[in-house]
Amino acid sequence: MWLVIKSDDPEKMRIKPGSIKSFKLKQKLGKCRKKNRPVPHWYRLRKDTKIRYNTKRRHWRRTKLGL
């Protein structure tokens, strides 16, 4: 698997193999992975909430992170 690093500067735009990542990039990917989850079911069932789903949910193939 290849990881594409996006940038406006063509010199910074590069393709890396998936296993070669910096620690900072791994942290970012981990945080994005944790955020990408549904709203807990018990929270949906509360009376006073209007939140039914996570509006910032991201599909791995359709929407890319653009790191």
Nearest Cα residue to 52 out of 66, 62, 61, 41:
41
pLDDT in tens, 17-28: 668 889 999 999
CA distances to 33, 38, 41, 47, 57 from 51, rounded to whole Å, are 21, 11, 11, 10, 13
**Prediction pTM value:** 0.62
Per-residue pLDDT, 15: 61
Compare 50 and 3 and report the one with higher pLDDT.
50
Per-chain mean pLDDT for the chain = 85
